[in-house]
Amino acid sequence: MQEVPATAMAVGSPPDYDAFLRAVELTGGSRAAHKLYLALSALDPAAELARRASWLEALARWVCAGPKLPAIAGASNEPPATTRLRLLVRALHSVPEFGQRVRALVASTLADVRPIRLLCETGLPNDRGLWSETSERLYRRLLPSPPDESDLAELVKHMFRSERDADWLAQLPAEVVAALHEQLGDPWEPLRDATHDALALLATRVSALGLSQDIRRRSSPGPVREAPFFRIAHAAHSEFPELIKGCRRELLVVYENLEQYGVSVDVVYGIEVITKCLERIEAILAALEAGVEPEQHAAEAQLLAKLVRARIREDSIADVIRSNLRMLSRKVIERAGETGEHYITVSRKEWLKMLASACGGGVLTVFTCVVRFYTKWGGFAPAVEGLLSAVNYAGSFVAMQLCGFTLATKQPSMTAAALAGSIRETRDAHRLDDLVTTIARICRSQMAAALGNIGAVIPAAVLFELWFRRSRERAFLDPDTAAYTIASFHPFQSGTILFAALTGVLLWCSSLGAGWLENWAVYRRLPEAIAEHRVKRFIGAGIPRWFSRQFSKHVAGFGGSVTLGFLLGMVPAFGLFFGLPLEVRHVTLSTGSLVLAAAALGTDAIMLSGTLWAALGILIIGILNFGVSFTLALAVAFRAREVPLTHSLRLLGKVLVRFFKSPLEFIFPPSWEKELPAHSFRPSHAHEPHGPH
């Protein structure tokens, strides 16, 4: 075939394939080049919209996921999609017919589609709330949607189908974007009016949500007309950047005031919607007002990448739940963390006080074990037995709370939340050392609580057995029940390990219950309502205020105690209902039961192999109770605060170094540790030395 110079090609009809290869300077054909040639040859800018959309989709899919190309000039060590885009740009430049067709096709398609949904709705949650948005996304996943060729969002969805495509768009080289822009003319021109409409709609939505009652009552005080949420709906585009900063400052105030007023799903959802709308406004403004051409093209590519990513995530149920639950979990974790701060001892005086408090909890646990055995002997139906056990456990834990006693296994999830609170702003090495000190305090606090619980439950159970023998002239447990109880704690011949880990999960769940109940009370302002109840007209203001203070002090503990009690009591009943042999293994309760069983069999049973194996089982139960609950709470708290994995590993390394350097610090307070004010163990406040110099 006679060679046709690229500059001499006619504009009317496309060249043949060989001439096309010479024009784009490809030596030898390839599958990718042949597919591009066929796609460009088939384009018809005058076709109906559905056909034009399908051609654009085919071109986009060729670029993003087409066959591999041989190396071409200017394309080295870059993604294959970028190399294919370079070839497409070269084809549009070298073959005028193809360039004209693609320009006309893009311009006519963008002129005929509706871009508003893509610009100001795609990827942004609706105003109906978290549950409505989640159900709507579920419906879209289960029920097919009819095609809508006139919706630009649908076209973008078909052109770019994965997060990888969005990442590639965001990282496109500036010269490639500029060259494509030059070949297409100004592809955004048909969308200029739509972008202004989108900005107006987004600003109005931000204003409406920001001025809603739940957000407004948590915002800074002042005239509504001066609020950035009010002004942004009436401002010119040039005023948007400053107003967006003001809106973000207000959102920080709102978020901080959640601590005072409590948090709800709707408030957190509203904050999330406003934040995403502000980000979309900024992206559109950057594409509209970037100024010089390279910056403009880069901003347009970034906007397209963000819209593609938003369209991909629009149908994701996990995305909307993850983004909202992260904020919710952060607030619940902070509630649990405040309670957890009371479980962290600093000085030796506090450590001994924790030990004494835990001893009281251990003594009370013996009576919980006794009632549990009577419940089992009652022959009740599984649901009734589970409910009675739950009431027994919950009542016992609430009694501990009111008496000022401590249950060791309730601590880990609370102290983990407090630790996550202290890691929030930690970055430098000095503050990491402060965190290691906090972890050492947590460890020795757990040690004091565990020693107190177990050290008191053992003699208390023995004394109860002696009293029972003296008053009833028989052991509390019969030999069969005692032998079965001892065997049930064998670490390898029973489900002790699995049940202990399950109990650790339940202990963690109880901390969520504590945080949720306290937040629920604060959100509904129950302490204020109790203090200002109309009954004070008859009995005076002192008694309601006292009840209000007591309620505020104990509400989180009540929430955690009742939650833990019902979980420990009802989980075995639910397991029985579904045919699952589930049991719970709580270290303090298990220790009390083991001592009662061994005492029933006499002193000779203490050194039997079964009893020794059961003692090992108790040790494993304690480790799993503490370890699982603390790990789960810390993982959730770190995720809620978006603590990076590298930061966590760095902290772990420093903890190990400190432990090998000063192991006793993790068991008993050093002499230089003095009692600190509330919250002062947090790194932002604590800078005390770690030892004598």
What mean pLDDT comes out for the span 408-415? 61
Q: Please report the sign of the dihedral spanned by the C-alpha atoms of residue 315, residue 316, residue 317, residue 322.
A: negative
Q: Which range is least confidently modeled, 40-44, 311-315, 460-464, 539-543? A: 311-315
pLDDT of residue 691: 39
Count of alpha carbons within 13 Å of 447, Cβ hemisphere only? 19
- Are residues 31 and 67 in contact, defined by beta-carbon separation less than 8 angstroms? yes
pLDDT of residue 375: 94
What mean pLDDT comes out for the span 265-282? 85
What mean pLDDT comes out for the span 406-412? 70
User: Which two structure tokens, joined as six digits, stand for 445?
Assistant: 């606090």
pLDDT of residue 129: 57
pLDDT of residue 98: 92
State pLDDT tens for residues 8-37: 333 457 788 888 888 888 776 688 888 999
pLDDT of residue 642: 64
CA 626 – CA 408 distance, rounded (Å): 9
Torsions phi, psi for 382 (to 5 deg): -55, -45
For the chain, what percent of residues have pLDDT higher than 70? 82
Look at residues 195, 181, 190, 140 and name the one whose alpha carbon lies nearest to residue 307: 195
CA 188 – CA 184 distance, rounded (Å): 10
Statement: residue 653 has pLDDT above 60: yes
Q: Reduce the DSSP state of residue 121 to 3 states and report it.
A: coil
Statement: residue 689 has pLDDT above 60: no
- Are residues 188 and 287 in contact, defined by beta-carbon separation less than 8 angstroms? yes
Which residue has tokens 């298990």?
590
Q: What is the CA radius of gyration of the chain?
A: 34
Count of alpha carbons within 13 Å of 358, Cβ hemisphere only? 26
Looking at the DSSP bridge assignments, the partners of residue 114 are 151
Q: What is the mean pLDDT of the chain?
A: 82
What mean pLDDT comes out for the span 83-103? 91
CA 414 – CA 582 distance, rounded (Å): 25
Which amino acid is located at 577 in the chain?
F
pTM of the model: 0.66
DSSP state of 345: -
CA 450 – CA 468 distance, rounded (Å): 27
Confidence at 681, pLDDT banded by 50, 70, 90: very low
Statement: residue 73 has pLDDT above 70: no
pLDDT of residue 550: 87
Q: Which range is least confidently modeled, 157-171, 231-245, 519-533, 562-576? A: 519-533
Exposed e or buried b per residue across 96-130, where buried means at least 16 C-beta atoms within 10 angstroms of its C-beta? bbbbebbbbbbbbbbeebebbbbbbbbbbbeeeeb
Look at residues 536, 576, 359, 381 and name the one whose alpha carbon lies nearest to residue 460: 359
